[in-house]
Amino acid sequence: MRSKPKIRRLAAVDQSAAPRLELVPGEEIWVFAYGSLMWNPGFPHLEVRRGRLYGFHRRFCIYSHVYRGTPERPGLVLGLARGGSCEGLAFRVPAGEADEVLEYLYARELVTEVYIPRWVRIATPDGEVRAASFVVDRAHEQYTGELELEATAELIRRGVGISGPGIEYLRNTVHHMEALGLATGDLKRILQLIDGRPARPKGG
């Protein structure tokens, strides 16, 4: 059983119009993490499993106006974009903490409502689980659409927000994915571009 950290408190944000996930009273939930939640969940959990989500992939596709950038000088953060698949971590949350954990996640992820909370099916080594996750709203003004790797690297390089530089976010994500044995894909190539190292061919 994993440690059960207390839920970190975040500043209150008016999200009265933001969508909410329906909970079954008395049932535990799973949360699927594909970005900073993997290495900084901030909520209590009983178990962690590697898992894969089909139909979405991890991509820097959101202009960050708060955590890793500002409206005047946006950075980039990760989102779940349609197509492909995404390997990450699934956290099992005890039933008694489910409501509070979701409220914490809403406060953390829905600051500008660029994410849409939804239930997704995650394939894990011990069977499929239904998990809460956050996918990008493609109609939102902060959705980037398709960006070239060079443009992505430049936005990450210059972005700084209340949680620090975008490059720190990228490095942490790559480091923890490598430690977990997860394929980093374009994230490692973007980091190489920022560090001035030649990126390997996509198949490498």
Count the domains in the chain: 1
Does residue 17 belong to any structural domain of this protein?
A: no
C-alpha span between 93 and 44 (Å, rounded): 7
pLDDT at 8: 43
Does residue 78 belong to any structural domain of this protein?
A: yes
Higher-scoring residue by pLDDT: 13, 36: 36
Q: Kindly report the CA angle at 176 between 8 and 147, in degrees rounded to 5?
A: 95
Q: What percent of the chain has pLDDT over 70?
A: 87
CB 52 within 8 A of CB 98: no
Q: How many CB atoms lie within 10 A of CB 182?
A: 21
Active site residue 109: yes
Does residue 204 belong to any structural domain of this protein?
A: no
| Catalytic residue selected from 109, 113, 148, 150 | 109
Q: Which of 48, 86, 41 is nearest to 182 (CA)?
A: 86
Does residue 19 belong to any structural domain of this protein?
A: no
pLDDT at 4: 42
CATH number at residue 44: 3.10.490.10
pLDDT digits (tens, 9 = 90+) for 42-93: 999 999 999 999 999 999 999 999 999 999 999 999 999 999 999 999 999 9
Domain range for 76 is 29-194
pLDDT digits (tens, 9 = 90+) for 171-182: 999 999 999 999
Q: In what helix (H) or strand (E) does residue 186 lie, and over which residues does it extend?
A: helix 186-194
Does residue 94 belong to any structural domain of this protein?
A: yes
Does residue 12 belong to any structural domain of this protein?
A: no
φ/ψ (deg, to 5) at 114? -85, -15
Helix axes 166-180, 186-194, angle to 10 degrees: 140
**Rg, the chain, Cα only:** 17
Who's near 124: CB < 8 A, 6+ residues apart? 49, 50, 51, 52, 90
pLDDT at 19: 75
C-alpha span between 21 and 86 (Å, rounded): 21
Split at pLDDT 50, 70, 90, the class of 197 is low
Say if residue 18's pLDDT is above 80. no
Does residue 1 belong to any structural domain of this protein?
A: no
Does residue 58 belong to any structural domain of this protein?
A: yes
Q: In what helix (H) or strand (E) does residue 41 lie, and over which residues does it extend?
A: none
C-alpha span between 167 and 35 (Å, rounded): 14
Q: Give the predicted TM-score (pTM) of the model.
A: 0.85
pLDDT digits (tens, 9 = 90+) for 123-158: 999 999 999 999 999 999 999 999 999 999 999 999
